[in-house]
Every structure is written in C-alpha cells, then in structure tokens.
Amino acid sequence: MLGRGDRTVTMPGAQAFPVDDLALGRVTFPNSVLPPGMSDPARAVDGEDRTAWTPGRDGRMVVDLGAVHRIGHVRLKWTDGREPAHTVSYSVDGRTYGPATDARYVAVSTRWRPGDASLTSVTVR
C-alpha cells in the first residue's frame, strides 16, 4: 500500500498509454481459419517485440483501425533474415484497396517464402 504523497512506480517493459500507434491492439484479419503456413496476424499489433506474424506463402493481413483516420505513415518491423517483397495498401470500406491518405483498413501483402523474415510490428501513425 502506498502512503500519502506522489510516488513514481516503474514497470520495466511496460508501454505508457495513450500511444499514437493506431494499429496497436486492433483487430486483424484473417482471424479464424488461417491459411497453411500463416501464424496469427495479431502478433504484429500486440506490442511485443518477441512475437511475429509469419505470413505463409504470399500472405496478406489486414488491420482494422476501428474508424477512418488520416494516415501519416506505416512502419513495418521485421525479424532478422531476408525481408520479403511486400506492399501496403489502404481502404476506407474494407473492399477496395489502394494508395490513400485516409483509411480504416491497412493491408500488408507479401511475397513471403520459407526462410524470409517475419513481421514483428505494424505501426500506423
């Protein structure tokens, strides 16, 4: 129990909130039956450096930002290894994707092959 007065509590490894990452902790797709070789895409938005999304051959994941936002930039962080060719596209309705400045959905598509790096984080600001 803390006494009276101000105190600082430090939690090693904890993330201070609020954060400006629009993708952190958001719903990802696919989220149920995953294609062969693909791991859960939520691993790329969970805020953990030690988890990663393995796309599987020609994998694609979508992050639902919950509402339409102005997108400043998207940062992808990969594990060590060969970074696969990839594209990032955007959508306001979840059906039509392309380049944009406003989006609710952010898709990452890869030409992933065995031995390629996995995606540890998708950061959207």
pTM of the predicted protein model: 0.85
**% of the chain residues with pLDDT over 70:** 90
Q: Are 100 and 90 in contact (CB under 8 A)?
A: yes
For the segment 33-71, what is each residue's pLDDT rounded down to a tens digit?
898 899 999 999 999 999 999 999 989 999 999 999 999
d(CA 21, CA 2): 32
Half-sphere exposure of 23 (CA within 13 A, CB side): 31
CATH of 27-124, one of 2.30.40.10, 3.20.20.70, 3.40.1280.10, 2.60.120.260: 2.60.120.260
* Terminal-to-terminal C-alpha distance of the chain: 38
- DSSP annotation of 39: -
Domain boundaries, the chain: 27-124
pLDDT of 2: 54
pLDDT of 15: 64
Main-chain dihedrals φ then ψ at residue 44, nearest 5 degrees: -90, -5
